[in-house]
A and B are shown apart, each in its own frame.
Chain A
Amino acid sequence: MSMPFYVSPEQLIKDRAEFAQKGIARGRSIVAAIYDRGVVLVGENPSASLYKISEIYDRIAFAGVGKYNEFDRLREAGIRWADGTGFTYSREDVDARALANYYGQHLGDMFTEGQKPLEVEILIAQLGNKLHPTKLYRIAYEGTITDEPRFVVLGGDAETIRDRFAELDESVQPFEFTLKSAVAALAGPDRIVPPGDLEVGILEDRGTRRTFTRLNDARVSELLS
């Protein structure tokens, strides 16, 4: 009879965390930042159809890094949750904080109980109004939720990019400035990311119920020039 090896809980958690971190760090990063009239989400993404940034609800956007199939499933669940909640109660009862908590619970469960932790890090951005504040919630692979005051960097070499962005964009700025700072932070000092490799989504009030807009390549290159 074979005996299973004993693995201490500390070691188990450490191994799982390392596994997830490795997967997430391999991907490219996403920067989300609050500007004077909304929230901008910028990611490096050479694919023009497999999106990392998308709309969840009228004033809520989603961004994910890591394994595409894993975060895309979370995105779909988020849309279902939001549309279902809005259908059952009212559109104004759909709040990003509740969604962030559900994501946190699920990621936490998968981290401790799943076959393997999810190799993803996600962001829920909410554009504020009278009822809800503008918020950026970052949810890590093990379910930790952090409520970031001004900007969030997900995935890849997040720390370096975070420092670079903090230096460029010290306070809440107009849209173009924030976008340029985010792109510069993603690219670093000796690299230029072509607009075609950027994915940009914004949440901004334009007098319509839905506030999410995906900016196309032409618009992005126009804004960056």
Chain B
Amino acid sequence: MGLPLFSAQNDPGPSFFHYAESTGLTVPTRHGEGESAHATTVVAVRYLGGVVMVGDRQATGNYIASRDIRKIEPADFYTALAISGTAARGIEFIRMAQLSFEHYEKMTDSALSLEGKANYLSPIIQRNNLSSPLMVIPLLAGWDLSHQVGRIFEYDGAGGCYERLDFATIGSGSPFAESTLRLGFRSDLDLEGALDLGALALYEAGDNDPSTAGPDFVRSLFPMMVTINGDGFQELALDEVANRFRVINDRRTQSGGVAGGTLR
């Protein structure tokens, strides 16, 4: 690859995605047959000081392909990106997003706004999902520096971007996680409350959805828990995550697997 110089008319500007496409760094997608699974659960919950995200770690094909993949990654310092759908495309999507945000920052010497990042991803998702059966549905959460608030953006299969003011879920375990979030969400959640609720929602999804892994005490593998706030993207330590799930699990064991009419 030589020095990528462009004339002023053909210059792709600070967009890495358009540059990659124009020079063939990415493979063009084609229509094909096939059903795509989106076996995953990731939830994002807004709280007073930011956003909490919790995601399971299991990759499922016809059987369990991996128990410890990461579905939530920092897209940059203040933004988290989670994926559901085809793993290969999802991972490429995360790489593309990470690189695009950094590329824009280096080219223009200013970081994209959170809304700018959310909108930037729309056509990439659209291009992927409408031209290939290998679907990817991401979930974006970030700390908006200009408004000093945590925000969540969810997408539909055609790349439509929607801001959620409360919580959002992606993946096949969504119905179970969403029910829990709907019952437990309050607009004045603090960090502790949001972490508890997010963990419980994921526990429910793991309990009901065959393609979502709940806590795995045998292998000491637990869902990923991250916070995005004024201090940036932070992943909770394994011990802390393990304790949260152990508490939920103990409660459920005592009540014989029944939630019992309360959020327990």
Interface check B109, CB cutoff 8 A: yes
Q: Which residue of A lies closest to B8 (CB)?
A: A73
Determine if A51 is an interface residue (Cβ-Cβ < 8 Å).
yes
A87 in contact with B95 (CB, 8 Å): yes
Chain A interfacial residues counted at CB < 8 A:
22
Given contacts A51-B109, A56-B106, A87-B99, contact A106 B3 (CB under 8 A): yes
**Chain B 5-49 near chain A by CB (<8 Å), digits 1 or 0:** 100000000001001100101000000000000000000000000
Closest chain A CB from B77 CB (angstroms) = 10
* B106 engages A54 (CB within 8 Å): yes
Output the nearest chain B residue to A210 by Cβ-Cβ distance. Answer: B102
A55 within 8 A of B: yes
Q: How far is the CA of A67 from the CA of B167 in the complex (A)?
A: 51
Contact of A84 among B23, B102, B107, B109 (CB under 8 A): B23
**Distance in Å: Cβ of B4 to nearest Cβ of chain A:** 4
| A76 adjacent to chain B (CB < 8 Å) | yes
Is B89 part of the contact surface with A, judged by Cβ < 8 Å?
A: no
Answer whether residue A37 sits at the interface, using C-beta atoms and an 8 A cutoff: no
Q: Given A106-B3, A106-B5, A80 and B19 touching (CB < 8 A)?
A: yes
Contacts of B1 in A (CB 8 A): 81, 84-85, 88
Residues of B within 8 A of A (CB): 1-5, 16, 19-20, 23, 25, 95, 99, 102-103, 106-107, 109
* Sampled A-B contacts (26; CB under 8 Å): A51-B109, A55-B106, A56-B106, A73-B5, A77-B3, A77-B5, A78-B3, A79-B106, A79-B107, A80-B103, A83-B16, A83-B99, A83-B103, A83-B106, A84-B1, A84-B23, A84-B25, A85-B1, A86-B99, A87-B16, A87-B20, A87-B25, A87-B95, A88-B25, A102-B2, A103-B3
Chain A residues packing against B (C-beta within 8 Å): 51, 54-56, 73-74, 76-81, 83-88, 102-103, 105-106
What 4 new A-B contacts, CB under 8 Å, besides A74-B3, A78-B3, A84-B25? Answer: A77-B5, A79-B106, A87-B16, A87-B25
